[in-house]
Amino acid sequence: MAFVADADAKTQFKWKMVTAWPRNFPGLGSNANLLAKMITDMSGGRIKVKVYGAGEMVPAFEVFDAVSKGTAEMGHAGAYYWKGKSEAVQFFSAVPFGLNAQEMNAWLYYGGGHELWKELYKPFGIIPAPTGNSGVQMAGWFNKEINALDDLKGLKMRIPGLGGEVLRRAGGTTVNMPGGELFTSLQSGTLDATEWVGPYNDLAFGFYKVAKYYYYPGWHEPGSTMEALINEKAFNQLPKDLQHIVMTACKAANMDMISEYTARNNQALDTLVNKHNVKLMPLPDQVIKTLREISEEVVSEVATKSAEAEKIYRSVSTFKQQVIRWSSISEQAFYKARGI
């Protein structure tokens, strides 16, 4: 058993956490708040973490740089926002037709994924940790029906990461912007469509007021991992027990988010459909088939960008093929037996 030296026990650390989400936003913002509270409470106040919403300290898409430079000790965001740093970061957020939440956590914790993630962020002075997963998302909100692949051509849609590149190759125009700008962009016609997360978050943003059609499934984000970014220098200044507290809190927050989304999405979907008369629709099979084919090309091409990308791609692809065999006779077989 390790004992904390008196000097360490008395030392207090004040950390800032910058996020890519609006302050207190359901699910995403509240997960950042939960993580900060757990670190503060579990440490007995020896680490006090103050959360800043997107734009309060730095813009949403500058979270990575703020943590890397030490402007903030922590960040809370999604890795695919930083593909300008390295194409390989996208493997740690969401891969079209890739791993779902349960499978993603399995790869990160027990399949070597987290070690590869830490290697990737090491040159930037950042330690990453999974801190949440939204589960399978929705395909998004559209202002027109999608009946065939041609309906995607010329479509201006907010969709980040690898999914955005897939849509672009399918003929769409992709736009990446913070969540707080999406409602007005749909309302003004700057966007024809947007994906965000799912019913829980989409209801909170009020997208049903400015878009008519709500499509599923979320082919582009089957298990979107949220990340805690931790400044390596700040982390190394902590005593060992506080380092363990920070990482344990990240893991607890990761488990909490998928539980919350699974519960809240049910309630929010009922409200959207039955109260707001949202048109809930599946993407046509042929559209899904084509998007899957394009996705395979896009994802495999990322592996050619660098040695590190190829290494990560090989790891996650191998894990996916292995887990598919088990999932087919476990969850997938059970869902069929249950009658859904």
Assigned CATH for 7-134+222-263? 3.40.190.170
Q: Average pLDDT in the 121-130 region?
A: 98
Mind listing the pLDDT tens digit for each residue in 157-186? 999 999 999 999 999 999 988 888 999 999
The radius of gyration computed from the CA coordinates of the chain, to the nearest angstrom, equals 20
Mind listing the pLDDT tens digit for each residue in 270-321? 999 999 999 999 999 999 999 999 999 999 999 999 999 999 999 999 999 9
Distance CA 72, CA 63 (A): 9
- Residue 48 predicted with pLDDT over 90: yes
Across the beta sheet with 279-282, the strand order is: 173-175, 156-158, 193-194, 140-142, 213-216, 279-282
Confidence of residue 96 (pLDDT cuts 50, 70, 90): very high
CB environment 263-297: b (16+ within 10 A), e (fewer): ebbeebbeebeeeeebeeeebbeebeebbeebbee
- Residue 8 predicted with pLDDT over 70: no
pLDDT, averaged across the chain? 95
Q: Average pLDDT in the 123-131 region?
A: 98
Q: Return the pLDDT at 9.
A: 67
**Strand pairing partners for 76?**
19, 228
CB environment 60-99: b (16+ within 10 A), e (fewer): bbbbbbbbbeebbbbbbbbbbbbbebbbbbbbbbbbbbbb
Mind listing the pLDDT tens digit for each residue in 210-261? 999 999 999 999 999 999 999 999 999 999 999 999 999 999 999 999 999 9
Q: Return the pLDDT at 259.
A: 96
CB hemisphere CA count around 299 (13 angstroms): 23
- Residue 104 predicted with pLDDT over 50: yes
- Residue 6 predicted with pLDDT over 60: no
DSSP sequence for 79-127 = GGGGTTT-GGGGGGT--TT---HHHHHHHHHHSSHHHHHHHHHGGGTEE
pLDDT above 70: percentage of residues in the chain: 97
Domain boundaries defined on the chain:
7-134+222-263
Q: Return the pLDDT at 10.
A: 75
Token pair, residue 88, equals 């390989």
Mind listing the pLDDT tens digit for each residue in 134-163? 999 999 999 999 999 999 999 999 999 999
Q: Return the pLDDT at 109.
A: 98
CB 156 within 8 A of CB 192: yes
